[in-house]
Amino acid sequence: MKLRALVFAVAALALAADAKPAQARPQSDFGLGIILGRPTGVTFEFGLAADQAMDLAIGLDVLSGNRFYVHGNYLFYLGPVVEGQVGLSPYLGPGIFLSGGDPFRGGIRVPFGMSMDFQAEPLKLFIEVAPHLRLADDVNLDVGVAGGFRYFF
């Protein structure tokens, strides 16, 4: 099962590398917001190109006993599937996570998500599912789910 999930993640990243540029992100390069799920806390997004961004989330992993949790991802936006006043764009990318507590945990994650971008406002709603391959403490495959919003300045 772990090998199958890793092969799937590598194939998805290979497809993302061939993605066409998209104007899915708001025009501003910095977004700040709230994320609920894994983790529940604060989220940031830094735009790097029309189809690429870095995101960071800091908070508590309410799904694992309120442990401190942080993750960072390099996201590839795959182009809008819906355009207009509200755009929908899928994204994915590689990332890492760290989870405090006893024992300390960390590893890699691959978020797959959908963002909803508004033309009239610098606002983005998102929801994602992210397989987590834990490498620190022990090797384990887990899945995190989160959603939230970011306001772009």
pTM for the model stands at 0.79
Judge residue 13's burial from the number of C-beta atoms within 10 Å of its C-beta, 0-12 exposed, 13-18 middle, 19 or more buried. middle
- pLDDT at residue number 143: 93
* In the predicted structure, residue 14 carries a pLDDT above the cut 70: no
Which band of pLDDT confidence, cut at 50, 70 and 90, is reported for residue 136? confident
- pLDDT at residue number 62: 82
- pLDDT at residue number 27: 57
Domains of the chain: residue spans and CATH: 2-152 (2.40.160.20)
Residues 20-58 have pLDDT tens digits of 444 444 557 999 999 999 899 999 999 999 899 999 999
* In the predicted structure, residue 7 carries a pLDDT above the cut 80: no
Q: How far is CA 145 from CA 17, 47, 77, in A?
A: 24, 22, 18
